[in-house]
Copies of this chain bind each other. A is one copy, B any other.
């Protein structure tokens, strides 16, 4: 036993107790005849006092050898502090040290182990084990554990069984790129790491497991964007004998439970919105509905009034920015520049100030009467004091651009509050989406998603309009989960592969086992998967996931701490029947 107590638990009630603590030296104040050390561990900080009148001389001397991040063990008596620290749970007491043992020394850390560190991202990643000592990271990892436990206990309580599915599976051409694993024992063959346990969870439903879940690592070998990791964690769920409504209900339950247990927030409503409506109202299939700024379509009101710029466009659409009528010309110009950035690539913005006094002033006063502008205000839901911003162009592109602007403004205006939670179901996703590059339809969700029965006949005529039994759970503008009711009969599944451009032979080679399974009494089933990294980050009040992952990879997919990936031996390659081709 290296300690009788942790550094977070002693209180004034423990006064006069003889205790043993162990931990890291956080801070030293040395006045020669007296020294104070902040001793830190996972549980907190306790102040140690070395006092030449009361601490043995040898220990006083040893204390002078201490440096930041040294690991020490001390024995001593709990005494009342002269100057208490009300910000620290242990702030009423300190330990009068009688024995000091240096368990390990430390070099000067490459960055300060403080809440506000001086270390940049790169150096903190290289020394991630030091970064984890910081509350900022440590607390996020502990938070993640707490969320994981709540998820497991809730789902288990609802009768879900956590089943581990295999990591060494088979590569499939559909979807993102697989990571593969060469097999030594099966010459010239490869396993693939799962992008998700999709087919396995469906087979578990065929197997009668009824309610399955798993918190599981998944892998995608995609070019990394900011905040995307090659390995990520999913809460993967599947249920048999259910319709969409049953799944939405169960996972509203899970979300409500998490918000209550983790955040102390009570959420009573899970509004539902079709994909079409979300795109029309917010230009986005994962709208943040915590604030308004819904789109007002202005085609009828703004076209053919002499402003040529609008006349030729497919869509004229605006939003009302609350309280922004007072923006200066300079502030508005900044917004115009923002939307012209290559990431957004809009042509520009038309603005209308709906002044507090009810008057209207716009960048297009030449073409529109005050009455015209008033009708825009009505359509965008603007109130006196608001600024109306209008974009025009190709419908899909313009919606996406205006959505980006809407989120940008909401962030700026502080409308996206970390402690406010507004979940939303987006339903009726399209089954297929056209891919320009491959010149064919792809499954929007995945090839196992069932079309809505009433849209089935459109499959042959207007495949792009077929809706799927697919749904996303959106929280505060982030997709935290998505799923669908699956196809469970062989004929429909074969037809779907056909639409997706598989030959029957390809379909059989890749997914024959699933279609075979559908011949032996497959029940109706469906499910959902949550991005666990993102869910945890959002519950934690953040939108970047990296700090919620203990050992994340950088944007080149490298672990800079252990320096992986790395070269392997020629002998190892030979065993795997491989040669490099550089």
Contact = CB atoms under 8 A, between A and B. Distances in A.
A265 to B, nearest CB: 23
A205 B204 CA distance: 37
Interface in A343-379: none
A77 to B, nearest CB: 20
A580 B582 contact: no
Interface stretch (A401-409, A430-438, A441-449, A549-557): A549-557
A181 interface: yes
A231 B164 CA distance: 11
Contacts of A217: 164, 167, 217
A336 interface: no
A145 B163 contact: yes
A489 interface: yes
A170 interface: yes
A241 B3 contact: yes
A347 B138 CA distance: 60
Contacts of A152: 149, 152
Given A132-B204, A133-B208, A566-B171, A164 B581 contact: no
A142 interface: yes
A148 interface: yes
A162 B181 contact: no
A559 B190 CA distance: 12
Contacts of A206: 129-130
Contacts of A276: none
Contacts of A311: none
Contact of A580 (B148, B163, B211, B577): B577
A230 interface: yes
A129 B518 CA distance: 10
Interface in A230-261: 230-231, 233, 241-243, 245-246
Interface string A133-157: 1000010011011001100110010
Contacts of A208: 24, 40-42, 132-133, 138
Nearest to A514: B562
A179 B186 contact: no
Interface stretch (A27-35, A102-110, A467-475, A476-484): A102-110
Contacts of A3: 241
Contact of A168 (B107, B189, B230, B577): B230
Contacts of A209: 42, 132, 138, 141
B133 A565 contact: no
21 contacts: A104-B518, A107-B520, A130-B206, A130-B520, A132-B207, A138-B208, A144-B164, A148-B162, A149-B152, A149-B156, A166-B231, A167-B219, A167-B231, A168-B179, A169-B559, A170-B565, A183-B557, A186-B557, A187-B582, A190-B565, A191-B564
Interface of A: 1-3, 22, 24, 40-43, 69-71, 103-107, 109, 127-133, 138, 141-142, 144-145, 148-149, 152-153, 156, 161-171, 173, 177-193, 199-200, 203-204, 206-211, 217, 219, 221, 223-224, 230-231, 233, 241-243, 245-246, 488-489, 512-513, 517-524, 549-551, 553, 556-559, 561-569, 572-582
Given A163-B550, A177-B184, A185-B557, 10 more contacts: A129-B203, A138-B207, A145-B162, A168-B219, A168-B231, A186-B565, A204-B550, A577-B580, A577-B582, A579-B581
